[in-house]
Amino acid sequence: MTINYSSDKLTDMEYCFCHHCKRIKESGELCVTEKGLQCRKCGSYDLDEPGWVVCPHQKISFVKCPRGGRGIINSGGGYNCIDRCFFRA
């Protein structure tokens, strides 16, 4: 998924998830090009946009998840996140 953002939106976004590096990237590790948002380290445009979700690990109302909740699944016994990023710990 390519995220198209201006420099101002990049600053507001704070972070996202790079599929190539398999890491959470802070806004300083990203750059805006004519093609969209790009990881400075690997050059990938395959980034997940952050989104507000109820994180099964944080156990609080809403957090800004770097993957937008794409790793949260219903495992039968409740919701669990397969990413286990603990990005706010």
Between 41 and 55, residue with greater pLDDT: 41
Q: Is 10 helix (H, G, I), strand (E, B) or coil?
A: helix
| Phi, psi (deg, nearest 5) at residue 26 | -75, 165
Q: Is the pTM of this model over 0.75?
A: no
Mean pLDDT of the chain: 81
Residue 14 in contact with residue 27, Cβ under 8 Å?
A: yes
- Residue 40: pLDDT band with limits 50, 70, 90: very high
pLDDT tens profile 4-22: 556 666 666 788 899 999 8
Q: Tell me, what's the pLDDT at 58? A: 73
| Per-state percent for the chain, helix, strand, coil, to nearest 5 | 10, 35, 55
Does residue 86 carry a pLDDT above 60?
yes
